[in-house]
Amino acid sequence: MNVESLVAIDVHTHAEVSADGAESLSGTLKEGADRYFKLAGKGRPTVPEMAAFYRERSMAAVVFTVDAETATGHPPVPNEEIAQACADNADVLIPFAGIDPWKGRAAVRQARRLVEEHGVRGIKFHPNVQAFHPNDRMAYELYEALEELGVPALFHTGQTGLGAGVRGGGGVRLKFSNPMDVDDVAVDFPDLTIILAHPSFPWQDEALAVATHKPNVYIDLSGWSPKYFPPQLVQYANTLLQDKVLFGSDYPLISPDRWLADFEKLPIKEEVRPKILKHNAARVLGLV
């Protein structure tokens, strides 16, 4: 990957369709996401299609699935398939893996294998859908492995579009996504790089506090159009957290084209913009 030639690095994109057409989301979770992001009736791209999309824009993207099989009974897009597709498009794609922490030591073995044998560069957790508090000790052996392997852990935080607006929220409980739970993880694993995904509504101040206080915690800006960012997030991105905030879109749920157009209108300092769009991610992901 030629980082110098890239316009931006999108640290948050979803692989939701496997090569055989199977989808990682189904039922009320998908119904809620389609409604929330206004995607009803629209298909989802395969990973090779995502590569072509980002290559056209001279951008790179971190790609992952969400493995919540224990909580939902629905299998994810295989991590190995995503890793191979990213390897085939290594000029623009960076593989992360979705791992279900409820799978215990099998999850630990899976993480080690994916990193060591398949080139995976980080692990994605979605506490809402996986139904766990990030500071639950059952996940600590997995975090210990990630810290040892030297790969980041990316945690969904705040409200989610999955199950939004459907009866009972599709069974998704928002309490699992408070970033203060991740603060415990940052204390107990100080050498584990942690990324808090999304503006963490309704816990935005908590997320800013954790990222300011803990040197190993970063924030990605995915999942929301920048025009909806709260003022304190913009203020911190411009100042105290200018080296710890990362561009992310949430593609295909939100297009990077839309995100970047709205980001252009924010009062971000000119010297800070390239940090957020590319340089911070390149450093966190070990690309430079």
DSSP per-residue string spanning 81-104: HHHHHHHHTTTTEEE-EE--GGGT
Residue 123 backbone phi and psi in degrees, to 5: -125, 135
Q: Which residues contact 173 (CB under 8 A, 6 or more apart)?
A: 128, 131
Q: Which residues contact 179 (CB under 8 A, 6 or more apart)?
A: 155, 157, 158, 196, 200, 203, 206, 207, 210
Give the pLDDT of residue 19.
82
Q: Domains of the chain (ranges plus CATH)?
A: 3-284 (3.20.20.140)
Determine the distance from the C-alpha atom of residue 37 to the mean position of all C-alpha atoms in its chain, rounded to a whole number. 17
Give the pLDDT of residue 34.
72
pTM: 0.95
pLDDT by position in tens, the chain (length 288): 999 999 999 999 999 888 877 676 666 776 777 777 777 666 789 999 999 999 999 999 999 999 999 999 988 999 999 999 999 999 999 999 999 999 999 999 999 999 999 999 999 999 999 999 999 999 999 999 999 999 999 999 999 988 888 889 889 999 999 999 999 999 999 999 999 999 999 999 999 999 999 999 999 999 999 999 999 999 999 999 999 999 999 999 999 999 999 999 999 999 999 999 999 999 999 998
**Could you tell me where the beta strands, DSSP code E, fall in 16-80?**
59-64
Residue 79: exposed, middle, or buried by beta-carbon count in 10 A (0-12, 13-18, 19+)?
buried
SS3 9: strand
Tokens 């939701």 correspond to 16
Give the pLDDT of residue 29.
73
Give the pLDDT of residue 40.
63
R_g of the chain computed on alpha carbons = 17
Q: Give CA–CA dist 172/54, Å, rounded.
A: 31
